[in-house]
Structure 1
């Protein structure tokens, strides 16, 4: 999940909520939407490799 911050940057959050904190985990902050989308693809690819 990507959200735009007030600063104009984009933050990538995990899809699932962390049971310990009841919040989504911050997976990084990026200057552009394209960079955030690219990182999201990398995260999903890596998760697929672990199985």
Structure 2
């Protein structure tokens, strides 16, 4: 899940909330949306191939 920040950067959040904090886990902040999308795909890949 990608959200645009007020700074103009994009942040990738986990889809599920973190049980410890009750918030979504921040999976990285990126300068461009395409970078964030690429990382999101990489995260999905690792989730399903280990």
Structure 1 stretches lacking a partner, 5+ long: none
Aligned residues: 50
- Two-structure CA RMSD over aligned residues (Å): 0.4
Extract structure 1 runs of 4+ deviating beyond 4 A.
none
The whole-number CA distance in structure 2 between the counterparts of 1:42 and 1:19 is 23
What's the TM-score, normalizing by structure 2?
0.97
